Amino acid sequence: MSNAPSTPHQHTGHNPPTGMDHGAMMHGHSSKMDMGGHNHHAMMIADFKKRFYVVLALTVPIMLLSPMIQHFMGVSWQFTGSSYILFALSSVVFVYGGWPFLTGWLDEIKAKNPGMMFLIGFAITVAYAYSAAIVFGLQGMDFFWELDTLILIMLLGHWIEMKSVAGASKELDLLVQLMPSDAHLVTNNVTHDVKTDTLKVDDVILTKPGEKVAADGVIVDGESYLNESMLTGESTPVKKTKGDKVIAGSINGNGSFNVKVSHSAKDSYLSQVVKLVDDAQKSKSQTQLLADRAAKWLTIIALLTGIATFLYWYLTGQTFAFAMERMVTVIVICCPHALGLAVPLVVAKSTALSAKHGLLIKNRTAFENSRKITTVVFDKTGTLTIGKFEVSKIISLHSDVDDKEILRISSALEQKSEHPIATGILQKVKELNIAIPTAENFKALTGQGVEATVEGKEVRVVSPGYLKENNLNVPDSYQSDETETVVFVIIDNQLAGYIALSDQIRPESAGAIQTLSENHIKSILLTGDNAKVAESVSKTLGMESFIAEVLPHQKLEKIKELQAHGEFVAMTGDGVNDAPALAQADIGIAVGSGSDIAAETAGIVLVNSNPKDIVNLILFGKATYKKMIQNLAWATGYNVIALPLAAGVLYHQGILLSPAAGAVLMTVSTVVVAINASLLKVKV
């Protein structure tokens, strides 16, 4: 998959390291939002195909005119000028067939970065120059037919391998294609079709049944079920009604609805994902840098071994032609091609696959290091639990004040608060259609609750801690359920009643924790909630331990403590109040950030808050790393065996590789690496 003849090394903004021309090209081309790169890639595949067929057509006459082949067959078709015809045909093969390799060679010399193209260009030029000298009077046997078969197999190998590479980036193209090109814009109740990229913030668009949502936004009218699986990995369709957010690219069910656009196409969730995947595919992890270094060394070894092989055979009495052929074979076999592709192919495949399953990799090294995780620290609310507090009971302690009144009065205070408990109370009020009174003189009691004046009464909604601190008696009827969070309602200094709320544990949490422990990974609960709730949740889920009642800045200290004990820590949090802890952890995983991919401090973002995704991430990280190592082992191991054979170590035992056989072996090794990368899968 070399550089196209016309555009050598313009793929990325820098010169890729040895053996990376194809990897860099793949990243630079087949994953651009405008799909122009994709077309360029397709053109290059077509170019190699055409060159291959032209060389194939010339192979038959070249073979028939070659003295060595005639000698094998015991025939002689020599005639006046036959060697010049052979020379002319071989020159076409050398220039037209070898063009991609020759231009690539020049690029690598210019960049002072010798790699695969340098080796192939050097090998075919040596073979061609020597054979041409034979035609014009030098004594010896030409090897035009070997030059021809070498170029033929190289073209075929590159063509096959480029197709495999195109496959590795296919997932990203699928993400790009999710974006519908047209949208139905609604203005003054009239609908007309426009291009998606012309949509502006606050435009209203109609989404019909079965169509893809054209832009991120909020439903202003209508409802439907949406399939968001290609974006979030969530397989069940999600019900969306007025006021709900929708993501561009999700597929509508059988309802229709109007969406108010929240940002333009280039800022949409999907565009951000595509950009993120593209950046991650281009970014280099430690493993990639290791492979690049290995490829660099392999190039140097190839050249030195090639020259040493030539000198050895020539100085021990073999013919110049024999020594030359050994040198060419060694250099071809030693191409760091498979090595250069070993990691980039796995990177392209894994990053795009992850995005399809709602795992967005921002930092490649963090992702590859996920295999080292020994402890996962979970933030409770919204990750292990659903994160929605629901009113589980309302207890009145006064005959004058019934349950509804307690709820009505407390809701006046809670409508001013953003806290999940407040949201739970207001949700209940909405369900019961209770009118919320206004609150005056609102004041927050730090860490203990809120107070205000409602309808002339002094009202406080407070935590059990407030009662203890102010020596108020906890009512006899109050039996704290370990999983409930309770707020007390005090009206005019009299305890009127209390409201208990609970946050349900996610159904997937227990399975996720169990899988972690099967993989010998500890799970620890870290929460600002009270110790009783934390203990109950961690026991129910079978977690290793819990750390409760911690403030955001203390979370950072807890992570440091774990690291001091030699743990490799992954922290999951919502990326806002957990930012310091996410940054401190060896791997920061931001969860549930939905459309907000910019969870700056996290190396990995999980689109859903599902704890099962964290397990999938770790297992997929392990699988990805395994694939990289398999590829690197194969690419290096093949050289260790093939190189001595090419140099002629077993020549006296009658085993000798021809340049064409060397090219076949090199191609096979590259294709094995490409196929192995494409077998990577996310287990869900």
Closest CA to 25 of 404, 341, 353: 341
Higher pLDDT, 295 or 629: 629
Identified catalytic residue from 142, 173, 379, 503: 379
- 69 with 145: CB under 8 angstroms? yes
Tokens 């949409």 — which residue?
A: 268
Residue 20, pLDDT score = 34
pLDDT value of position 23: 35
Residue 238 pLDDT greater than 90, yes or no = no
**Could you read off the pLDDT of 377-396 as tens digits, one per residue?**
987 666 787 767 788 888 88
H or E segment and range at residue 393:
strand 385-396
In the predicted structure, residue 77 carries a pLDDT above the cut 80: no
Residue 549 in contact with residue 540, Cβ under 8 Å?
Answer: no
| Mean pLDDT (whole number) for 128-151 | 81
Give residue 13's pLDDT: 32
| Active site (annotated) includes residue 379 | yes
Q: What is the 3-state secondary structure (H, E, C) of 306-360?
A: HHHHHHHHHHCCCCHHHHHHHHHHHHHHCCCHHHHHHHHHHHHHHHHHHHHCCEE
How is 9-78 classified by DSSP, letter by letter? T-SSSSPPPTT-HHHHHHHHHTT-TTSHHHHHHHHHHHHHHHHHHHHHHHHHHHHHH-HHHHHHHT----
Span 508-544, pLDDT tens digits: 889 999 999 999 999 999 887 778 778 888 898 999 9
The per-residue pLDDT for 22 is: 38
CATH 3.40.50.880 is the classification of domain 180-267: no
Tell me: the pLDDT tens digits for 8-47? 333 333 333 333 333 333 333 333 333 445 567 678 888 9
CB 75 within 8 A of CB 64: no
3-state SS, one letter per residue, for 96-110: HHCHHHHHHHHHHHH
pTM for the whole structure:
0.64
Q: Could you tell me the pLDDT band of residue 570, with boundaries at 50, 70 and 90?
A: very high
For residue 384, give the DSSP letter.
I
pLDDT (0 to 100) of residue 451: 87
Q: pLDDT-based confidence at 680, cuts 50/70/90? A: confident
Query: Nearest to residue 596, comparing CAs of 214, 374, 273, 127?
Result: 273
Greater model confidence, 306 or 166: 306
- By C-alpha distance, which of 130, 498, 138, 516 is closest to 327? 130
* pLDDT tens per residue, range 635-671: 888 888 888 888 888 888 888 887 777 777 877 887 8
CA 318 vs CA 309, 315, 321, 648, 661: distances in Å: 11, 7, 8, 12, 21
Q: What is the pLDDT of residue 140?
A: 66
Q: Which of 390, 274, 402, 284 lies closest to 344 in space, CA to CA?
A: 284
pLDDT tens column, 574-587: 655 677 788 888 99
Residue 670 contacts residue 161 (beta carbons within 8 Å): yes
Asked whether the predicted pLDDT for residue 87 surpasses 90, the reply is yes
**In angstroms, rounded to a whole number, what is the distance separating the alpha carbons of residues 323 and 338?**
26
As a whole-number percent, the residues of the chain with pLDDT over 70 amount to: 83
Which pLDDT score is estimated for 7?
32
Q: What is the pLDDT of residues 279-295, one digit of tens each?
A: 766 666 777 777 777 77
The CA distance from 394 to 408, in Å, is 11
Strand-by-strand arrangement of the 238-240 sheet: 238-240, 224-227, 251-252
The residues facing 206 across adjacent strands are 184, 258
d(CA 169, CA 404): 58
Specify the pLDDT at position 170: 59
Domain boundaries, given as residue ranges, for the chain: 21-173+276-338+625-678, 180-267, 385-505
In the CATH scheme, what architecture does the domain 385-505 have?
3-Layer(aba) Sandwich (3.40)
Strands (E), 407-448: 439-445
User: pLDDT grade, residue 350 (50/70/90)?
Assistant: confident
pLDDT tier, 68 (very low <50, low <70, confident <90, very high otherwise) = low
The pLDDT score that the predictor gives to residue 17 is 33
Judged by average pLDDT, the poorest of 110-114, 345-349, 672-676 is 345-349
Secondary structure of residue 211 in the 3-state scheme: coil
Residue 181 buriedness (CB in 10 A; 0-12 / 13-18 / 19+):
exposed
More confident residue, 458 or 114: 458
Residues written for the chain: 684
Could you say which DSSP state residue 265 is in?
G
Mean predicted confidence (pLDDT) in 132-153: 80
Sheet with 375-379, strands from edge to edge, namely 359-361, 604-606, 587-591, 569-573, 375-379, 522-526, 545-547
Higher pLDDT, 28 or 599: 599
Classified as helix, coil or strand, 587 is: strand
pLDDT band, very low/low/confident/very high, at 95 (cuts 50, 70, 90): very high
What six digits make up the tokens of 232? 């979030």
Sign of the CA dihedral with 177 first, then 182, 184, and 187 last: positive
Question: Which amino acid, one-letter code, is at 159?
Answer: W
Average pLDDT of span 248-257: 86
Alpha-carbon dihedral sign for residues 310, 313, 317, 322 = negative
Least reliable range by pLDDT among 190-204, 269-283, 656-670: 269-283
What pLDDT shows up at residue 532?
Answer: 79
Q: Is 115 helix (H, G, I), strand (E, B) or coil?
A: coil
pLDDT band at 598 (very low <50, low <70, confident <90, very high): very low
How many angstroms separate the CA atoms of 299 and 303, rounded?
6
Cα separation, 427 vs 389, in Å, equals 9
Q: In Å, what is the CA distance from 394 to each residue of 322, 408, 434, 478, 662?
A: 95, 11, 15, 11, 80
The whole-number pLDDT of residue 16 equals 33
The pLDDT, as a whole number, for residue 336 is 72
The mean of the pLDDT values for the chain is 79
Q: Cα–Cα distance between 572 and 543 in angstroms, integer?
A: 15
Contacts of 441 (CB under 8 A, 6+ apart): 452, 453
Output 673 or 683, whichever has higher pLDDT: 673
Q: Which of 512, 546, 224, 255 is nearest to 380 (CA)?
A: 546
439: pLDDT strictly greater than 60? yes
Which pLDDT value is given to residue 232? 64
Dist. CA 496–CA 461, nearest whole Å: 10
Overall average pLDDT of the 182-200 stretch: 89
What is the phi/psi pair of residue 452, to 5°?
-165, 175
Check pLDDT > 90 for residue 58.
yes
